[in-house]
Amino acid sequence: MLYREAGQFKTSYRADQQIFPILQDRIGMLVLGFVALVGVPLVASEYWLTAILIPLLVFSLAAIGLNILTGYAGQLSLGTAAFMAVGAVATYNFQLRVPGIPILVSFLLGGGTAAAVGAVFGLPSLRIKGFYLAVATLAAQFFIPWLLVKVSWFSNDSASGVITTQPVEILGFTFDTPLRKYLFALVVVSVLALVAKNLVRSHIGRAWMAVRDMDVAAEVIGIRIVRTKLVAFAVSSFYCGIAGALYAFAYLGSVETDGFNLDLSFRILFMIIIGGVGSILGSFLGAAFITLLPILLDVALTEGATALGLQLPSGMTSMVQLVVFGALIIFFLIVEPLGLARLWQIAKEKLRLWPFPH
């Protein structure tokens, strides 16, 4: 079975407008879906589920959120984690304070709350651009977690500030084991990824990219810059909010506001730079890369050190990690600004021509 486009003539614009116009890609997606839904539950250990797959899904969602704002709409944000915090805390509070509310509704409302907060912090983007905007989002990053900690109502006056999340229960079925939590996250993330793909290939997506690429020209053809940017902030924050809620409910089992810090924001930014700015697929690739790299690095360093009979100073691996992350960011920006997603695409194009390159 070869990867070929030849012979697949698109007879209609409709066929051309599919997300995966090439048959082999559609088959590939089906296989991937099957593996994720059936294969993983059969073989994955608890460690794999809790330490790798669930966070990978959660971060993918956050990366999609940031990608909508930064990759598609061109508005740099360093406040991703803050909007995740809003989503987590809001979901928790809806679940806590509205009797009988279904968990999915809480998630949606949590995302909605994050969207509203995101839009407020997006307001400065109406007047400022580029890294000026980064300062506005930094304000969010420092102010929001502070507020969430200071006002103890948000954490239901818990003395430690750490709040345990409610069980995720849908129609009497409780997602309590790691495997169930994984499946829950998988479904949520898949659906939202599809929605994101739909948005970016519709006219709002084109408006985002237009504003990103050339705002004056966008305005001249009738795009409302203000509204377009605010919608980008809101939708992006909605995604980050849901990701935050998943982080709390499906990954940690608690809401720890301190965890939603600048470092996390940077990490998600790195995911989209390495995975692919302006690519939904890239969000997944980047999340996978940034989640797996530290683990691999850790193994490599400890193994390497033992093999050489060395004693690694404590904290060394996390420092090496900083160096590697930094170098990779620079490398990708210089060599392949469109990231892993672009590399994947190039590989496919090569494969399509193989074995006759031109």
Alpha-carbon torsion angle 19, 21, 24, 27, nearest 10: 40
Q: Which is nearer to other proteins, 54 or 85 (CB)?
A: 85
* Least Å from the CB of residue 194 to other proteins: 9
221 is a site residue for other proteins (CB under 8 A)? yes
Q: Which residue reads 């912090």 in tokens? A: 121
Q: Which is nearer to other proteins, 252 or 290 (CB)?
A: 290
Contact between 89 and 156 (Cβ < 8 Å): no
* Least Å from the CB of residue 182 to other proteins: 25
280 is a site residue for other proteins (CB under 8 A)? no
* Least Å from the CB of residue 16 to other proteins: 8
Q: Whole-angstrom Cα distance, residue 262 to residue 117?
A: 17
Q: Which is nearer to other proteins, 180 or 352 (CB)?
A: 352
Helix (H, G, I), strand (E, B) or coil at 214: coil
Nearest residue to 244 (alpha-carbon basis) of 79, 7, 51: 79
Quick one: which of 44, 105, 108, 134 contacts other proteins (CB under 8 A)?
A: 134
φ, ψ for residue 174, nearest 5 deg: -100, 130
301 is a site residue for other proteins (CB under 8 A)? no
261 is a site residue for other proteins (CB under 8 A)? no
Helices (DSSP H) in 127-177: which residue ranges?
Answer: 130-150
The pair of structure tokens assigned to 6 is 């030849």
One-letter amino acid at 144 equals I
204 is a site residue for other proteins (CB under 8 A)? yes
Q: Is 45 left (phi over 0), alpha (psi -120 to 50) or beta?
A: beta
The pair of structure tokens assigned to 297 is 């690095």
Binders of other proteins among residues 320 to 339 (CB under 8 A) are 320-330, 333-334, 337
Site size toward other proteins (CB under 8 A) is 71
Quick one: which of 13, 100, 311, 356 contacts other proteins (CB under 8 A)?
A: 13
Look at the alpha carbons of 219, 225, 231, 235 in this order and tell me if their dihedral is positive or negative.
positive
223 is a site residue for other proteins (CB under 8 A)? yes
Quick one: which of 314, 355, 357, 358 contacts other proteins (CB under 8 A)?
A: 314
153 is a site residue for other proteins (CB under 8 A)? no
Binders of other proteins among residues 68 to 127 (CB under 8 A) are 74, 76, 123-124, 127
